[in-house]
Amino acid sequence: MDQTSKNPVLVILAFIAIYVIWGSTYLLNKIAVTELDPFMLAAIRFVVSGSLIFVIAKMSGRSIAITKKQAVNTAIAGFLFLSFGNGVVVWALRYVDTSLAALEISSQPLIVLLLMRIFQGKKISPMSLLGVFLGFIGIYLLVSQKSVLSQENSILGMVMIFFCMVSWASASLFVGKADLPKNFFVNTGYQMIFGGTILAIASLIIGEEWTNPFEWSLKVQWSMVLLVIFGSIIAFTSFNYLLKVVSPEKVATNTYVNPIIALLMGWYFLHEQITQQSIIASAVLLTGVFFVNTKKQLVLFNRFRSKKNPLK
């Protein structure tokens, strides 16, 4: 994918990747983290994914050359996106159901909007302010449930997920402006190598136990394979591509679909409970996220209508 390329088909496929594939990664990470230490799990996933990306890049004749400034920027992005933004979420999944984690993360567009206001001076419309208000009400409804409060370390896990959202949103804004490798495939590879290396160092510092992949259970081995190929290489490359060709708020709308996929998969495969309050919280949260993007949705709708009715 080239930086100047904005192929509509590629954009659609990239959105499908971040919508559906990332929704399933909550389940895959939850399965793996029940047996493996979280930072080790995430480190192996990203280092292997980044290494495979470089192998594919070399075999296809792509240059993996990088400037010193680009290396620094990809290291920063790798830390914000992957080391903290993803690695700590994996840790939190030990204490938080996949559906609750995904629903909380669905408020990420609200965080992106607030950060754009703080760091870029972007004005927030009254409709978007209402969306932010509803979003935080939804988060409160989510974390105030008895089933959440009664689980050990669940509140700590959800608080850390909130900081992960701030890290991920900050990285989204940073990547949109930073000098990075022009090829999105290579850019993704460097971010994963740097992010995975940081996670490996953190894992060793805190004394996590590293185990042989051949000793893992079959379900964990398959989870890792799917995380590497689909969750990392395909979906994250698509994500980096979209950050360059569409606005950060649009990219963040993957959180409309991700929690629904995660909720259904957690219910079906892990028998996680879907409470009435969770359903209400998700409705309030997603309504808030919709309001953040209402203006854009209306613009798109009006364009579509004018094309179908050129005389109007």
Count the residues in the chain: 312
Render the burial of 203-221: b for 16+ CB within 10 Å, e for the rest.
beeeebeeeeeeebeeebe
- Tens of pLDDT, residue by residue, the chain (312 residues): 444 457 888 988 999 899 889 889 999 999 999 999 999 999 999 999 999 999 999 998 989 999 999 999 999 999 999 999 999 999 999 999 898 888 888 788 788 888 888 888 888 788 888 888 888 898 888 878 877 777 888 889 999 999 999 999 999 889 888 999 988 889 999 999 999 999 999 999 999 999 999 999 999 999 999 999 999 999 988 888 888 888 776 787 776 788 888 888 888 898 888 888 888 988 888 888 778 766 554 443 344 344 443 333
Q: What is the pLDDT of residue 263?
A: 84
Distance from C-alpha of 19 to C-alpha of 171, rounded to nearest angstrom: 19
Domain borders along the chain are 8-308
Task: List Cα–Cα distances, 96 to 75, 92, 116, 269, in angstroms.
Answer: 29, 6, 29, 16
Residue among 208, 106, 120 at smallest CA distance from 165: 106
Q: What is the pLDDT of residue 295?
A: 54
Q: What is the pLDDT of residue 105?
A: 84
End-to-end CA distance of the chain: 38
Which ranges constitute the DSSP H helices of 61-153? Answer: 68-78, 87-92, 98-105, 108-120, 126-143, 146-149
Distance from C-alpha of 275 to C-alpha of 147, rounded to nearest angstrom: 9
Amino acid found at 277:
Q
Residue among 225, 239, 186 at smallest CA distance from 51: 186
Tokens 């510092």 sit on residue: 205
Q: Record the pTM.
A: 0.81
Task: List Cα–Cα distances, 231 to 23, 24, 217, in angstroms.
Answer: 9, 8, 20
Are 265 and 23 in contact by the 8 Å Cβ rule? The answer is yes
Are 288 and 134 in contact by the 8 Å Cβ rule? The answer is yes
